[in-house]
């Protein structure tokens, strides 16, 4: 009985959200998150500057930033970066995208970590694959085709610059000092998605980069698209105008 009460409550909440959106404007929301309404299009993986041929695409955990100088890392720590990409094929090409927010859940803050660490999303400009390696928090030897620090496609293609080829930041936040979803949103982040919907061959996603410049131990742990609890997985929230011939497709993914 309790579960049906919860479902009914959720349904009413959903109805209220959709109703208020349609009442105030014609805008609608699309949420792309693995496990939500059958979506399975998120690729995310951590790469490591000390283990340049390691990958970690199938781990439920991801890390970004500079680690501490504790074992097994040498003095000064090591750099971790996260590549993340969403398959945008569920997005109809005949709606107008009004805004985009990327949310990734912070789940781990190391001891003695500094507060107020900046994290930026940079658009990646070369193809890569998430791969199937599950190496816990530290990664493990990559398989051919996986993303690594040295290679966008391990064995067959290396980055021009080790650590990834990417543009200037599309969005930057100061991460919270407590666990929970962190949100990136900006006009450029929205433009990235608009461009990638129009030209899917250019959609290589973003590289999430923490503060690598100064203090050690800026690293943070995040939930990946393989997180056991589906609601904790990264999600791309797209607000659109609700207009277009294929707008019915959105209903599958609307929240
Ligand atoms: Ca995935
Ligand atoms: Ca992954």
- DSSP string for residues in 207-240: EEE---SSSS---EEEE-TT-SSGGGS-EEEEEE
- The confidence score (pLDDT) of residue 3 equals 37
- The confidence score (pLDDT) of residue 32 equals 94
- The confidence score (pLDDT) of residue 217 equals 85
45 CA distance to ligand 2 middle (Å): 5
80 three-state secondary structure: strand
Question: CA 196, 201, 221, 50 torsion: positive or negative?
Answer: negative
Q: Indicate which ligand has the atom closest to the C-alpha of 42.
A: 1
Q: Indicate which ligand has the atom closest to the C-alpha of 57.
A: 2
**Cβ neighbours for 95, distance < 8 A, ≥ 6 positions apart:** 240, 241, 242, 243, 244, 247, 250
**Residue 236 phi, psi (nearest 5):** -110, 120
User: Please, are residues 163 and 149 in contact by the beta-carbon 8 Å criterion?
Assistant: yes
63 CA distance to ligand 2 middle (Å): 11
54 CA distance to ligand 2 middle (Å): 14
Residues 27 and 241: their CA atoms lie apart, in Å, by 4
Q: Indicate which ligand has the atom closest to the C-alpha of 139.
A: 2
8 CA distance to ligand 1 middle (Å): 30
The tens-digit pLDDT sequence of the chain (255 residues) is: 333 333 333 433 333 333 334 434 567 889 999 999 899 999 999 999 999 999 999 999 999 999 876 555 556 688 999 999 999 999 988 889 999 999 999 999 988 788 889 999 999 999 999 999 999 989 999 999 999 999 999 999 999 999 999 999 999 999 988 999 999 999 999 999 999 999 999 999 999 999 987 667 899 999 999 999 999 999 999 999 876 545 444 444 444
Q: Indicate which ligand has the atom closest to the C-alpha of 41.
A: 1
- The confidence score (pLDDT) of residue 190 equals 98
- The confidence score (pLDDT) of residue 232 equals 97
Radius of gyration from C-alpha coordinates of the chain: 19
């Amino acid at each position: 009985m309790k579960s049906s009460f919860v479902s009914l409550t959720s349904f009413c909440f959903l109805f209220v959200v959709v109703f208020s959106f349609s009442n105030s404007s014609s805008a609608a929301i699309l949420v792309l998150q693995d496990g939500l309404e059958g979506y399975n299009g998120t690729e995310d993986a951590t790469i490591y500057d000390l283990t340049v041929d390691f990958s970690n695409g199938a781990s439920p955990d991801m890390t970004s930033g500079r680690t501490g100088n504790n074992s097994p890392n040498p003095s000064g720590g090591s750099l971790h970066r996260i590549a993340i990409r969403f398959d945008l094929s569920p997005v109809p090409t005949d709606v107008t995208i009004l805004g985009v927010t990327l949310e990734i859940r912070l789940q781990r803050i190391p001891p003695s970590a500094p507060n107020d660490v900046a994290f930026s999303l940079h658009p990646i400009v070369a193809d890569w694959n998430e791969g199937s390696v599950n190496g816990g928090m530290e990664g493990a030897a990559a398989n051919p085709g996986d993303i690594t620090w040295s290679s966008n496609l391990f064995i067959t293609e290396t980055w021009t610059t080790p650590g990834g080829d990417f543009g200037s930041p599309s969005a930057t936040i100061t991460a919270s000092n407590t666990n929970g979803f962190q949100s990136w949103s900006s006009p450029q982040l929205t433009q990235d998605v608009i461009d990638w919907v129009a030209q899917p061959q250019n959609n290589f996603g973003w590289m999430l980069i923490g503060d690598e410049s100064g203090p050690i131990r800026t690293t943070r742990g995040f939930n990946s698209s393989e997180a056991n609890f589906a609601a904790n997985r990264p999600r791309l929230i797209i607000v659109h105008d609700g207009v277009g011939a294929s707008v019915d497709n959105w209903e599958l993914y609307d929240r």
